[in-house]
Amino acid sequence: MSLFKLDKSYFDTFKVLAKPKRFFASSSSGLTGSLPVFPGTSISLKEVVKSTSDDIPDEISIEALREDIHRSGVTQAGLESYLSTVNKITSNVRREKKMEVLRFEPSVKFTSDTIRKGVIKDVLFPFYRVKYGKACNWAFTNYNTLNFFSTKDATVPDDSVLMYPATGSYKYRPTGSFSFEFYLNPRYREFDRHGDFKAGTLFHLSSSYAISLVSGSSRDANGYIDGFRLMLQLSHSAGIEPSDCSLSLTDATRVSPRDFIYSSSDNSLKRNHWHHCCVRWDANTKNSTGSFVIDGQVK
């Protein structure tokens, strides 16, 4: 046996890029579509099985054609006979399987959609969370949030706002009962240990309302604030800067122009925790009452 070196002319390198086709359609009837389970789906892929029909060749007849071509040699007639026979074989049905896309909204009543959501939440998410090594849940990443912060760096303006036009009809000004509902994560610390926390306004409309995040009394082992609360300012009290509103006074002892300033209970929000918040006011209940609802509890 002799050994000889193979040069580059004996090798051929190529790439195969598999892109399964996706079909999605969104209309008034909902979201529909499908995605192939196997990325290499093709009608050219055949499945040779034992056939029960004389019109569909089986594995034995295909193998007989291969042996006949091997014995008699490769000819055009032989190849055409072989390819026409192979073309009669049915395609691989398993590789044509598609995953249908279904969009549904669970109702307040128990339906089949409730079971579907339960399977995703209680079965699929816990199973694939370990396999993927990342979160599989209903949560949003920080890319889906608005991130407000303060800094000592002069290049970042501290007097900027996210503003919506409110001219003409003043559609953002409530004419009766109202509710502000949002998710909030107080994650930033004050600049200096044992220092003051700069209040941040979340919603504001001049001479109407202002909802702000203010500090609580709790501090961690390093002296930084780790408890927060919400503050609501209404009517003429909405024109006062949140940092100038004293939280040491009870709501009933404040006098004009600070008589419409209200706050949630002390340390009702924790640092670096997501909270579901709802600030509501009803002018028709008990001579006008309101409440702060945080994580489903009145605070």
Residue 1 resides in a domain: no
Q: Are residues 199 and 243 in the same domain?
A: yes
Q: How many domains does the chain have?
A: 3
Q: Are residues 86 and 117 in the same domain?
A: no
pLDDT digits (tens, 9 = 90+) for 171-182: 788 888 899 999
- Rounded to an integer, the average pLDDT of 39-51 is 63
Range of the domain at 130: 106-139
Residue 18 resides in a domain: no
pLDDT of residue 63: 74
Q: Closest by alpha carbon to 273, among 200, 187, 212, 214?
A: 187
Q: Are residues 74 and 172 in the same domain?
A: no
Q: Are residues 127 and 82 in the same domain?
A: no
- Rounded to an integer, the average pLDDT of 293-297 is 94
Q: Are residues 192 and 269 in the same domain?
A: yes
- What's 17-71 look like in SS3? CCCCCCEEEEECCEEEEEEECCCCCCCCCECCCCCCCCCCCCHHHHHHHHHHHHH
Residue 8 resides in a domain: no
pLDDT digits (tens, 9 = 90+) for 98-128: 777 777 777 888 988 888 888 988 998 888 8
Residue 195 resides in a domain: yes
pLDDT band at 231 (very low <50, low <70, confident <90, very high): very high
Q: Are residues 207 and 110 in the same domain?
A: no
Residue 212 resides in a domain: yes
Residue 4 resides in a domain: no
Q: Are residues 213 and 280 in the same domain?
A: yes
Q: Are residues 46 and 111 in the same domain?
A: no
Domain boundary pick from 103, 119, 150 = 103
Q: Are residues 176 and 259 in the same domain?
A: yes
Q: Are residues 134 and 231 in the same domain?
A: no
pTM score: 0.55
Residue 146 resides in a domain: no
CB 233 within 8 A of CB 256: no
- Rounded to an integer, the average pLDDT of 187-214 is 88
Q: Are residues 81 and 66 in the same domain?
A: yes
pLDDT digits (tens, 9 = 90+) for 13-36: 766 665 656 666 766 666 677 777
Q: Are residues 173 and 259 in the same domain?
A: yes
More confident call, 270 vs 84: 270
Residue 155 resides in a domain: no
Query: Percent of the chain having pLDDT more than 70?
Result: 78
- Rounded to an integer, the average pLDDT of 217-231 is 91
pLDDT band at 286 (very low <50, low <70, confident <90, very high): low
pLDDT digits (tens, 9 = 90+) for 96-105: 777 777 777 7
- Rounded to an integer, the average pLDDT of 138-142 is 71
